[in-house]
Amino acid sequence: MLILFLRERLAWIGFFVFIIVMINVLFSLDVGLVGISILYINISMLISFMIFLFWRYVVEVGRLKNFLGNVENQFDDVHSKNLVLSPFQMAYFTKIEDVLYGKNTELNQAKVQLQEYSDELLAWVHEVKAPLTAVNLMLDRVEDLTLRRKLETEWLRLHLLVDQQLHQTRLASIEKDNYMMEIELRTVVYKEIRAMQAWCIEKGIGFDVEELTDTVTTDAKWLAFIIRQILSNAIKYSPENSEVLLFTEVDATGATLLHIKDAGIGIRKEDLPRIFYKSYTGTAGRESAQSTGMGLYLAHNVAQKIGVRITVQSSVGEGSIFTLRFPLQNEYVKLTGR
């Protein structure tokens, strides 16, 4: 702070040095001043200037700390007696206040527009789900089994995109829309596998699922969304007639781990640190028009909100293993505040 203060006052210091030099020159040229001690004059002026600088440092830094200590209320204090300002400082603060007021107005308008857009988008998603449900019911009337399977697969992809958009819209208010409870992993996993049955049949992909009798504390709806995104990626990038393996284990800390292993194309080493970035599709995404880069991004964000940690192990050509680590009891207490 002191160094910054001195840098801001370089003009003062420069002017003081100039005065000292001028006085010394006058003392050396004027014979009438020969009997006066120039050293005494220099020391006196130097000490006086240092005292002046120290006094200004204490006063100005004290005001600055007082202002920054309660910055939210300081602009109200500008018009009261709580904050003493010079006319010059008042002019600065008034201008800053006008600028901040304009920016806050614009920010509030943007927030309102964003909320309206979010509400409209949420309403649109709900409207779209109704015809999607109707189409799904009509698919049962298609007699050609091959055609029905293809239509069901395309319907599932469309349904997953709409579902992804729905959860993306709700993500901002996830704290108000979660309910932590003890659930059995098997219930959530089996439901998501059944939902993707048509897509799996088309590609000939099977699931090797262990008993999954483990019980974890989490939000069932948001956990289902996370598993849905990982499973859809596993199906999308796995070769035909392959298997996706799901199993659990307990780590050294006692936390439950859910592993989802596929035999897909894998993820390049340089892509691994960024697969959870928004809209990042990586090398594989550039080879597939289906990639949006949003699934894992949303899954990772949701996982952080509900205390689940996602890790990935992968090698090109050897598939990937996504691991979900569920919070322990003490971590759950920190997460919910209960």
Given this model, what pLDDT does residue 88 score? 65
DSSP code at position 310: E
Q: Do 190 and 160 meet the contact criterion of CB atoms below 8 Å apart? A: no
What is the amino acid identity at position 67? F
Average pLDDT over residues 260-288: 79
Half-sphere exposure of 90 (CA within 13 A, CB side): 10
pLDDT tier at 132 (50, 70, 90 boundaries)? confident
Residue 183 has pLDDT above 60, yes or no: yes
Given this model, what pLDDT does residue 249 score? 93
Burial (0-12, 13-18, 19+ Cβ within 10 Å), 293: middle
pLDDT tens digits, 272-283: 888 888 877 766
3-state helix vs strand vs coil in the chain, percent to 5: 65, 10, 25
Q: State the Rg of the chain over Cα.
A: 34
Residue (of 317, 277, 268) closest to 296 by Cα position: 277
Among the listed ranges 57-66, 201-210, 301-310, 319-328, which one has the minimum average pLDDT value?
A: 57-66
Please report how the helices 220-237 and 295-305 are oriented relative to each other, as an axis angle in degrees rounded to 10: 150
**Backbone φ/ψ region at 144: left (φ over 0), alpha (ψ -120 to 50), beta:** beta
Given this model, what pLDDT does residue 303 score? 92
Residue 34 has pLDDT above 80, yes or no: no
222 vs 239: CA distance, rounded Å: 28
Given this model, what pLDDT does residue 331 score? 67
Given this model, what pLDDT does residue 226 score? 94
Average pLDDT over residues 305-326: 91
Please report how the helices 87-139 and 145-170 are oriented relative to each other, as an axis angle in degrees rounded to 10: 160
Please report how the helices 220-237 and 145-170 are oriented relative to each other, as an axis angle in degrees rounded to 10: 130
Please, what is the Cα angle at 324 between 262 and 213, to 5 degrees?
Answer: 90
Burial (0-12, 13-18, 19+ Cβ within 10 Å), 226: buried
Average pLDDT over residues 183-189: 93
Q: What percent of the chain has pLDDT over 90?
A: 25
Burial 252-274 (b: 16+ CB within 10 A, else e): eeebbbbbbbbbbbbbeeebbee
Given this model, what pLDDT does residue 85 score? 56
Query: Rounded to the nearest 10 degrees, how much is the dihedral formed by the CA atoms of 199, 129, 194, 285?
Result: 40
Average pLDDT over residues 7-11: 85
Cα separation values, 208 from 40, 238, 317, Å: 94, 14, 20
Q: Which residue has the higher pLDDT, 4 or 51?
A: 51
- When the pLDDT of each residue in the chain is averaged and rounded to a whole number, the result is 83
Residue 67 has pLDDT above 70, yes or no: no
DSSP code at position 172: G
Q: 140 in helix, strand or coil? A: coil
132 vs 111: CA distance, rounded Å: 31
